[in-house]
Amino acid sequence: MCTYIICGTSGGGLPLFSRKKGNSETLPFSIVGSLNGIHMFGKPLGIEILETLTDDYAVCWREFEDSIILIGVASGCSVEVLNQLLEEIFNTIVLVVGIKELKTQRNIERLKRELRLCLPVIDRLLDSLDSGDANNQHASDIVGFVETTMCQENHLIQTVLDSFSESVDSSFCCVLIDGKISAATESWWSLHPVELRLLSFLAVSENTTDSKDFPVFLPYKSPTVAFRFVVCLLVPNVQICCLCGLTPTLQEIEHSVKQCFKNSTDLLTAAKNYSPNFNVDTNILGHLLINITAKKYVMSKSLQQSAKKSNAGNSHRIDILRTFFYRAVVAHLVDDSDDENVGLETYWCSEYHKCHAVRTNDNVLCVLYNSTVPTHALNGITEKTLRALVSDKQVCW
């Protein structure tokens, strides 16, 4: 699988950045020029090409705010998912530079420099399409959904977080464990799911210092007025994030972090190493639990660990489960309308694997099985696993 992203100005076609993910060669200049030229020459004539398909690739053009053009080229990906990815990339650009700067483009070279902060987040977004890369540490990403943790310590972390939120006078706070949301304030959860996802990626990008403090523009909540985004390291791979105004200072926030979390090191360590306390059926190779209203998900630890290994078979399992979600679950079980005919169950069968998904209220569980499991038994195992995951009130996610 390979993905290319090309970004340029909408009016003059000036390049702003380009990114590539996967093992394929860089696109030749002639192809890049042709892809950009299709938009440039068609726009004055009122002609707009949105998408096309080749034998191996999907290609999409998206113009935003009559200011920038994003071109996406991806193999093994539908145009729907690729368009959603381009939307997230645009929101990442807004997150860093704001919508006003993007529209005016007073200084292209300055805009290019500012967009460099976007690139680690954009690369992480591209990871969500490239589970076949053995070096991809984030192959479990699901486009459009924010990843969370599921553990018994979350409600205790929540209590400490609420105390911290009061001390810094910010209602927008969260704790990230390995880049996943462990606990968050109500106001943090009120943000758009895309904002939650991008802020989580931004918090863990280029984590070279203990603390970060920089302005961000929330694409949906505040695209024109910046918040301060402050990130402090609690223990390795565990961070606390907050959105605030001019006050308090970074030093004051760091002091509050130390005071509020000084006795929580063991708690945070336990949360990092948590495994659900129930017996998973031996036929299950991995599962994906999704809340379709909150746009959040949890992937089983077995698949998270396999994503970090170079074993092609393990990466293939993740790819199968995510493809099943994109092409079957979203189409049949995830629907924002009030249609009473939305399905409650769907499955795939292949020579080596079977996939099954069940929806109960807002929760959808997707499970990857061995092909030897009888098809008629899938429903019972999946429903039992879903009940075990969501029935424990001490386990928050």
Give pLDDT tens digits for 285-331: 989 999 988 889 988 877 766 555 545 555 578 888 888 998 888 87
Domain ranges of the chain: 3-127, 153-272, 284-391
Query: What mean pLDDT value characterizes the chain?
Result: 86
| pLDDT tens by residue, 116-139 | 999 999 999 998 776 555 455 555
What's the CATH number of domain 153-272, 3.30.70.520, 3.30.450.30, 3.90.1150.10, 2.60.40.10? 3.30.450.30
| pLDDT tens by residue, 329-388 | 887 777 655 555 556 899 999 988 999 999 998 899 999 999 999 999 999 999 999 988
Rounded Cα distance between 185 and 12, Å, is 43
Q: Is 335 exposed, middle or buried (0-12, 13-18, 19+ CB in 10 A)?
A: middle
The whole-number pLDDT of residue 245 equals 92
| Residue 276 confidence class, pLDDT cut points 50, 70, 90 | low
Rounded to an integer, the average pLDDT of 7-34 is 88
| pLDDT tens by residue, 21-59 | 887 888 888 888 889 888 888 888 888 889 999 888 899
What's the CATH number of domain 3-127, 3.30.450.60, 1.10.8.60, 3.55.10.10, 3.20.20.60? 3.30.450.60
The whole-number pLDDT of residue 140 equals 62
Give CA angle at 312 (384, 6), nearest 5°. 100
Rounded Cα distance between 87 and 84, Å, is 5
The whole-number pLDDT of residue 24 equals 80
| Residue 152 confidence class, pLDDT cut points 50, 70, 90 | confident
More confident residue, 274 or 160: 160
CATH-assigned architecture of domain 284-391: 2-Layer Sandwich (3.30)
Q: HSE-up of 378 (CA within 13 Å, CB side)?
A: 25
Long-range contacts of 273-282 (CB under 8 A, 24+ apart): 274/149, 274/150, 274/151, 274/152, 274/153, 275/301, 276/150, 276/301, 276/388, 276/389, 276/395, 277/152, 277/392, 278/388, 278/389, 280/385, 281/381, 281/384, 281/385
Please indicate whether the domains covering 153-272 and 284-391 agree at the CATH topology level. Answer: yes
